[in-house]
Amino acid sequence: MESTTEPLSPDLLRRFDTPGPRYTSYPTADRFIEAFGPADAVRALGQRGHGGAALGATPLSVYVHIPFCESVCYYCACNKVITKHHERAAEYLDALDTEIELVGRAMGERQAVSQLHFGGGSPTFLANTELEHVMASLKRAFRLQPGAELSIEVDPRTVTAERLAHLSHLGFNRISFGVQDFDPQVQRAVHRIQPFEQVRDLMLAARSLGFESINADLIYGLPCQTPESFSRTVQQIAELKPDRIALYAYAHLPQRFKPQRRIVPEELPNAAQRVQMLGGAIAGFLGHGYTYIGMDHFALPGDSLAIAKRQGRLHRNFQGYSTQPDCDLIGLGVSAIGRVGATYSQNAKTLPEYYDALRQGQLPVVRGIALSRDDLVRRAVIMALMCQGRVEFESIELAHFVNMREYFSRELDELEDMARAGLVHVEPHAIQVTAAGWYLVRAVAMVFDKHLQGDKLRERFSRVI
């Protein structure tokens, strides 16, 4: 997918910059139902353990959610627990042990894991010994494959070079620094103070320790940001040369996320400024040699994500873009979401509910969904758009036994408006997202979202730009 640095016109923004999902899954998590519970999750795990896994057909990824943070960042929409009482982690780790054991028992044998990711919250809220404890529990239940990707999210304010060395010792080979923005005024507005020099020194330390991939997370659309101030952050990050950069659009949804109510709405940049920031960031990172992976990711050409992009192997899951297509995902911890076979499941969102389920000896799954045949077809189309910017009709037809032009006749008619706007080309046997359309690829994907059609509650989602 080639990219553009030209800003979208105000007319295109008005027409297509609407609220919509980020499509880390399809159907999206808001479509999960409470009728899908622990027994359904156990059944799906058992089918994997005694079926597809034995054939080695589907890779396995594991996500571990650590919800604790010492202080609140006002922009944050993650499931988190703000506390300075580190002793609260002990009860959580005991519960996590139980969940890991239950998942392992449901699958029947130790599964080979090729990806492991710790997210949060702030995983580095845990002490070194506590991280050792979690890793030991995981290794009892799963077989970490040689060369597996082991990644962890790091709050730069909570680690030193010595702690990074310990993470390396535990086996983590990929590290992601939450940066968001280097501008002091923006940092004050979102309650996250971390000077450029602090992040620079930690990245240098991580590189000297031999981490295979160093990632930096940025957010555009934060209060007090301007296109000019954000271009300075882009320049500073590019100079540090992390292997990957995740660039997220801030979604201001204060009715859903209480910390965001501390953000002053008048200080937020407008839609035109946000597009200018996005276009400037794309131009800036491309100018420093990065590959534009997709909606919110950049990588250096030699990084595995860039290689997967070139080879058509990109996948999208709850952590964003991934190198493993069709990957089952075990989600561990409060609020974690998993995907096994044709099912999704989500754990309880509060600690009391999470603990209570595990005390009763059952998985803490409170909702999920078993995908229908229609869901599977639409997921394939949406993920092709989100990951490759192109849908080849033949590949969908062979995999799902449908005729694309008949099955999606209404959707293809709807795409004509986007085609006239220059966002897509509808070819005889394919759909191709244009460079300009990549800004609005979520809007293109929404055309194929059956659950969203006629939905009157789209405002619960973030806007496309």
Instruction: Provide the residue type at 87 as one letter.
Output: E
Q: Helix 89-107 vs helix 128-141: angle between axes, to the nearest 10 degrees?
A: 10
**What b/e sequence results for 347-358 when a residue is b if at least 16 CB atoms lie within 10 Å of its CB, and e otherwise?**
bbeebeebbebb
At 177, which helix (H) or strand (E)? strand 174-180
2 is in an annotated binding site: no
73 is in an annotated binding site: yes
69 is in an annotated binding site: yes
Q: State the Cα–Cα distance between residues 97 and 364, nearest whole angstrom.
A: 13
449 is in an annotated binding site: no
180 is in an annotated binding site: yes
Strands 297-299 and 291-294 come out as antiparallel
407 is in an annotated binding site: no
Strands 213-220 and 142-154 come out as unpaired
DSSP β-bridge partners for residue 119 = 65
311 is in an annotated binding site: no
387 is in an annotated binding site: no
Q: State the Cα–Cα distance between residues 140 and 29, nearest whole angstrom.
A: 30
76 is in an annotated binding site: yes
78 is in an annotated binding site: no
178 is in an annotated binding site: no
Q: State the Cα–Cα distance between residues 423 and 416, nearest whole angstrom.
A: 10
Contacts of 409 (CB under 8 A, 6+ apart): none
224 is in an annotated binding site: no
251 is in an annotated binding site: yes
Q: For residue 438, what is the DSSP state?
A: G
Q: Identify whether the C-beta of residue 177 lies closer than 8 Å to the C-beta of residue 216.
A: yes
Binding-site residues for [4Fe-4S] cluster, please?
69, 73, 76
Pick out the residues of the known binding site for S-adenosyl-L-methionine: 63, 75-77, 120, 153, 180, 192, 217, 251, 337
Binding residues: 63, 69, 73, 75-77, 120, 153, 180, 192, 217, 251, 337
